Amino acid sequence: MNQEAAIKKAFTKNLLLWHASVNKRDLPWKEEQDPYKIWLSEIILQQTRAQQGLPYYLKFTVAYPTVKALAAADDNDVFRIWQGLGYYNRCKNMLATARLVTSEYSGIFPDSYEGLLTLKGIGPYTAAAIASFAFRLPHAVVDGNVYRVLSRYFGIDTPTDSKEGKLLFTALANELLDKANSAHYNQAIMDLGATVCTPKKPICSDCPLSRQCLSAGTGLASILPVKSKKIVVKTRFFAYLLMQFKDTIWIEKRGSGDIWENLHQPFLIENSEHPAATADIISMLASQTGIPPNLIVFKENTQQKLTHQIINTSFFVANLNKKPSPSRTNGIWVSINELKKLAFPKTLVSFFKNNLYF
């Protein structure tokens, strides 16, 4: 056996030994074999840390214990549970897949990697995870944790977001996979990346792979893995007007093609690339709603940082003695008591809570 083959064999052996004897990361979807619950956990955990996703997973499995139950759910109820997780297109795709599996597959997930890939919202990583964890098929998962562990251990500086990098890391992951024990291997490498080989300040002293890792003690860990593209962050300026008439609030549902798709919001105007003065915003709100400017009161400013966007928000309130006629006609008046039943972006949830709307 040549040196390279020996290093790869040691990688898999030591990783599985660590998983069996040291790894105590306890999460409810670990050791789960129900493809529905595995799929649900994977959708929730996309772009989401495990501890943040955990309460959502528990809420969903209680409210919808089977894929058929989720398929039959009202969209608003599902989005209401998802509220706060972000990346709401995941929720939309999740509902579409649940309904497809129910209608076309009688509530039974395809039991092959290729079959899983045909479902909406399921890419190579999620298909590999379900195939491995639910059906014990020999497919390696390749997520951010796996990229990080492999790039550091083998000293690979090929960008992970390049076509070449994706092919290279996927091939390497499948070569290292213990094909007879794929579920434990996949769980082990993801847990190692999440708890030991972390993005910042990896704990090399606790790593079972550190003896042969090319990055341990060399400083390479601070620059690996490599990405070729920098995230461009866009700054946006929102102004919400909460129009209240007696015990009702005017709201509308956000459309497709932007953040927070299908969630609800009060009357919104988005400023230009630069923030406007409060008086100017009030004038714009007044002209678009027909509400006298003196009735529009500024409440607060907030900021929410998303992966690719920074949302600066100004909140305004108008208590009215008659219903206005805003320029947009797709909104409805709902009782304040009904607000809790609807799904809103996180920024709006915080505003409603702080101002005792719910």
Which positions are catalytic? Answer: 42
For residue 208, give the 3-state DSSP assignment. Answer: coil
Inter-residue contact 270 to 234 (CB < 8 Å): no
Report the DSSP pairing between strands 332-335 and 309-320.
unpaired
CA 214 to chain centre: 32
H/E run at residue 18: helix 3-21
Report which DSSP code applies to 46. Answer: T
H/E run at residue 318: strand 309-320
For residue 201, give the 3-state DSSP assignment. Answer: coil
Distance CA 16, CA 23 (A): 10
CA distances from 239 to 249, 292, 342 (A): 16, 17, 20
CA distances from 11 to 22, 144, 234, 298 (A): 16, 18, 41, 59
Place of tokens 């409060």: 278
- Helix residue ranges, H only, 231-313: 278-289
CA 33 to chain centre: 22
Report the DSSP pairing between strands 267-270 and 234-245.
antiparallel
Counts of helices then strands in the chain (DSSP H, E): 13, 7
